[in-house]
Structure 1
Amino acid sequence: MVKKLNLIIIVLLLAGKTFGQNKPIDSLNIDNIKFRQQALILPIALIGYGVISLESHTLKDINAETKEEFNEHIDEKLSLDDFSQYSPFVSVYVLNNAGIKGKNNLKDRTIILGTAYLIMGATINIIKNTGNELRPDGTSYNSFPSGHTATAFMGAEFLYQEYKNVSVWYGISGYMVAAGTGFFRMYNDRHWLGDVSAGAGIGILSTKIAYWIHPLLKRTIFKGKENLNGMIIPVYNGKQLGLSMAVTF
């Protein structure tokens, strides 16, 4: 537990160091893309709540009370969260195919999504594999943080960033779906409230970082590579249904 806490604290400190330099202005401007330091407040607050809930007796009590509240009303488990976690970011491609253009073209938005997914997935897996938090249903010790919730909020922020200039309601709908995903992770007795909170923060932060570093990636790794093709493939491992993204350029 201490090892996991140390790892998360280091990640938070690095984020604060990277994006919170003592600048006389409140944003960084790279290729006309502004990254505002205030954008870090919500995800870091969510992650912070999740981290504190691992040791705080008060927040542990809230976790337990939330679990009991759900258990009192659960008739049967609903696996909607297995699908809803992907809905926000898939919606970006559906909307584009329907002729509703977002902020970026196919190449750029796919690079951004792939970057966000890589950051989010690596963070979630490292923390899960170094942690020892028992799931509410007692099935395994990799409860913290919630990967489903992280994926959903990563996609919700992606949807918001791509369509906030078209209509803010696209982003709101994405965040509603993401919140529902977190709800069903608790409803299905798979995660504590702190797991869901941390997962949401990691998902949002991953997408924000992906947008911030995209100009750098575009100038270096993807420079001159204008042709990009990709596909999203459903996968099933016998227990869980998911999506796999393949990109060629």
Structure 2
Amino acid sequence: MSKKILLLCIFCNTIATYAQQNATDSIPALKPDSLKFNYKALIIPGALIGYGVIGLESDWLKGFNSEIKEEVNEDIDKKITIDDFTQYAPFASVYGLNALGIKGKHNFKDRSIIMGTSYLLMSGTVLSLKGITKVERPDGSSNNSFPSGHTATAFAGAEFLWQEYKDVSIWYGITGYAIATGTGLFRIYNDRHWLTDVAAGAGIGILSTKVAYWLHPFIKKTFFGEKETKSTVMMAPFYNGKQLGAGFVMNF
């Protein structure tokens, strides 16, 4: 493995590890609906998004992006599209663990509201920026490279998994962030995104879920009411290879 590819792996894994460590410091263990705004929680996603935004105009960062692309194309022949599936793994894990009887912080209704809010914030931000920036993908297939939607989805899910299960075991959150980091690496590996796209996507994903938790008490009270009902609501993301979207299900 070349030095540049090794540097890229170290860089991306450092992002995930640093994010996880700081999450522990900036967001204490709290009861459901008591997660309050903390400006320190904005530092990591803000830095990642800032790196990506600066990379839109910085010749040095663009040059670094190109060097990574050249190294990837030189050292890797076969593409692996596992990232089309791993992007959803952290989100799905929350529901899977609950189905196995390992309870998270919120019940089905509340976590579905949080997930839906996070996904709407994330996808809206990603799709808007893609339309505004019109950055060409490394493989030249289209002009919607910035930011990485796959990476944003994966990191939004990783933060969701972390928030729901950090009080059960930190290893659930660490695993989610590891999968999200791998998703970002595969986007570069498959010549679909630049490093700056992946960094910005990671920041947007983390921030979207944090904001979703901060907004949850207001959204629950305003749109769903305080009284518990027998209805259940679920919103699940999907990606068909070309389009990013979400499925909505309600049972009465």
Match of 1:230 in 2: 234
Alpha-carbon shift at residue 34 of structure 1 (Å): 2.1
Per-residue deviation, residues 29-86 of structure 1 (Å, max 9, x unmatched)? 9953222211100000000000001111111111111111211221211000000000
The SS at the match of 1:33 is coil
Correspondence for 2:157 among 155, 158, 170: 155
Match of 1:84 in 2: 86
Read off the aligned partner of 1:219 and give its amino acid letter. K
Alpha-carbon shift at residue 118 of structure 1 (Å): 0.3
Alpha-carbon shift at residue 131 of structure 1 (Å): 1.7
CA contact (8 A) 1:145 1:195 kept: yes
Match of 1:219 in 2: 221
Correspondence for 2:133 among 113, 131, 135: 131
Match of 1:9 in 2: none
Per-residue deviation, residues 75-121 of structure 1 (Å, max 9, x unmatched)? 21100000000000100000000000000000000000000000000
Q: Within the alignment, does 1:73 sit opposite 2:75 as a pair?
A: yes
Residues 232 and 125 (structure 1 numbering): CA distance in 2 closer, same or farther, change over 3 Å? closer
Equivalent-residue separation in structure 2 for 1:187 and 1:168 (angstroms): 28
Q: CA RMSD of the aligned region, Å?
A: 2.2
Equivalent-residue separation in structure 1 for 2:138 and 2:228 (angstroms): 46
Match of 2:3 in 1: none
Residues 64 and 111 (structure 1 numbering): CA distance in 2 closer, same or farther, change over 3 Å? same
Match of 1:144 in 2: 146
Equivalent-residue separation in structure 1 for 2:201 and 2:193 (angstroms): 10
Match of 2:248 in 1: 246
Equivalent-residue separation in structure 2 for 1:120 and 1:132 (angstroms): 18
Q: Within the alignment, does 1:199 sit opposite 2:186 as a pair?
A: no
The SS at the match of 1:248 is strand
The SS at the match of 1:144 is coil
Q: Within the alignment, does 1:39 sit opposite 2:41 as a pair?
A: yes
CA contact (8 A) 1:116 1:209 kept: yes
CA contact (8 A) 1:82 1:241 kept: no
Equivalent-residue separation in structure 2 for 1:54 and 1:242 (angstroms): 23
- Which blocks of at least 5 consecutive residues in structure 1 are unaligned? 1-25
Read off the aligned partner of 1:142 and give its amino acid letter. N
Q: Within the alignment, does 1:96 sit opposite 2:128 as a pair?
A: no
Correspondence for 1:175 among 174, 177, 186: 177
Equivalent-residue separation in structure 1 for 2:56 and 2:235 (angstroms): 38
CA contact (8 A) 2:80 2:186 kept: yes
CA contact (8 A) 2:52 2:199 kept: yes
The SS at the match of 2:178 is helix
Correspondence for 1:208 among 203, 210, 213: 210
Equivalent-residue separation in structure 1 for 2:58 and 2:120 (angstroms): 30
Match of 1:54 in 2: 56
- Which blocks of at least 5 consecutive residues in structure 2 are unaligned? 1-25
Alpha-carbon shift at residue 243 of structure 1 (Å): 7.5
